[in-house]
Structure 1
Amino acid sequence: MALRVDLDEPWLADVGFGDSFLEPLRLIPEIEQEQDGQRFRIAAVRGVMIMQRQVGAHSWKSQFRFTLTPRQLCDFEARCQFQQTSPASHFTRQRICTLPTRDGRITLADLKLIRTTQDGREERMLQNEDEWRAALAEHFGVRL
């Protein structure tokens, strides 16, 4: 989920997409904005806004699309219900915990520990539930 926040100017805040920008972006199409060594921009195409991330020196990858149509919280109830209960949702098919870090992101997806940085992605399979609990405590401060 992304929110438009109006202060001195309009901003785009990512409140649920995950591996994206951490601080709000100015909601101004076609300007490049940098955060933690990554470049972002918002493209406007026929009434649809597209948040993009730079990949490589000259390429941009679309991350998500949105409009500026105001919404109510109830507009998200069906999708929220799906994410929480549907067997097709990746949130019900595995345990997942993820946090941004200074240089990227740390993710625990079932028994897979994933470190993502600008230099790449490193995956390590944990051997058992004890290692999973230890990783959950060490990286996320969650003790079960």
Structure 2
Amino acid sequence: MDVQAYLKRISVEKEEQLTLEYLAKLQKNHMENIPFENLDVTRKVEIKLITDRFYEKVMGNGRGGFCYELNGLFQQLLTKLGYRSHLIACTVKKLEGWAKADTHAAIIVNLDQPYLVDVGFGDSVRQPVPLTGEERIDVSGTYRVAQTEQESYDLQRFDDENHWKTLYRFTNDVKSIKDFDEGCLYNQTSPDSTFTHGDIVTIATEDGRITLSGLNVTQTKNGQKVKWDVTEDEKIKLLEKYFHIHI
């Protein structure tokens, strides 16, 4: 991994002090420069959990990826910079029930205390969140990590109905990228997977987010949403304009 090339891709200068503030800058800039996307899944391009392949795709080809690729790479970058971090397995909350257990990969970074960090969950928190229940607020919403059991935690977002909505559940157990082999295969092939039913591409912006879902586009600016539809030809141009992806 070329650390300088990675930092250049996310528009961050290297700093010597491994502070919480620097970690937050790395996370925010990562989410604003590298999209979450499933274009390989929908085009039947096999994704294998090999970090060198992630790097070539994201850095060499200017692409994005889904959670294993983005958090797998980002965790390696944090390690190269000197942060103490590890991958964790999470179970995503659906509208009804839960997704397949432990099929989302996120990161724990240990500083003065453990922090949840995630650059591979689409529209979500853009800064490290402590596991203590303290709230964190950014342009995308208000978040906290609530402890549910002795060693289990929920990432939650405060919704428009004044309720804390759980996004996913996790433990602090250390995982390696290979621990997600089953989940990666499931998310690429199962009809129950969110990612096998159409293109999903999304990237954070300074004042909101832009998301492509199938042929539907949603752009959020300062809390205001604008939606429109595109044709297949227009989608190719949109991917280039907003996500810098050429397919």
Specify if TM > 0.5.
yes
1:87 partner letter: P
For normalisation by structure 2, the TM-score amounts to: 0.52
Q: Structure 1's 59 and 138: CA in aligned 2 closer, same or farther, altered over 3 A?
A: same
- Letter in structure 1 aligned against 2:167: Q
- 1:137 is aligned to 240
Q: How does 1:1-144 map to 2 (within 5 A)?
A: 1-27=105-131, 29-36=132-139, 38-47=141-150, 48-56=152-160, 58-117=162-221, 119-126=223-230, 128-144=231-247
Amino acid at match of 1:91: F
Matching residue's letter, 1:66: F
Deviations 1:18-56 (A, max 9, x none): 1111122123x2211222362211111223211111124
What root-mean-square deviation, in Å, do the aligned CA atoms of Structure 1 and Structure 2 show? Answer: 2.0
Structure number with the higher strand fraction is 1
**Identity within the alignment, %:** 36
Q: What are the Cα deviations for residues 80-130 of structure 1, in whole angstroms up to 9, with x where unaligned?
A: 11112223323222122110111221111221111234534332111x222
For residues 6 and 34 of structure 1, the distance between their equivalents in structure 2, rounded to whole angstroms, comes to 20
Q: Which amino acid aligns with 2:154?
A: I
- Quick check: 97-106 or 30-39, which moved more? 30-39
**Amino acid of the structure 1 residue aligned with 2:116:** L
* 2:125/2:140 contact within 8 Å kept: no
In structure 1, C-alpha distance between the alignment counterparts of 2:162 and 2:216, rounded to whole Å: 32
Query: What TM-score, normalized by structure 1, do the two folds share?
Result: 0.85
Structure 1: runs of 5+ lacking an equivalent: none
Q: Distance in 1 between matches of 2:174 and 2:168?
A: 17
Aligned residues: 142
| Larger helix share, 1 or 2 | 2
- Pairwise CA distance, 1:11: 1.1
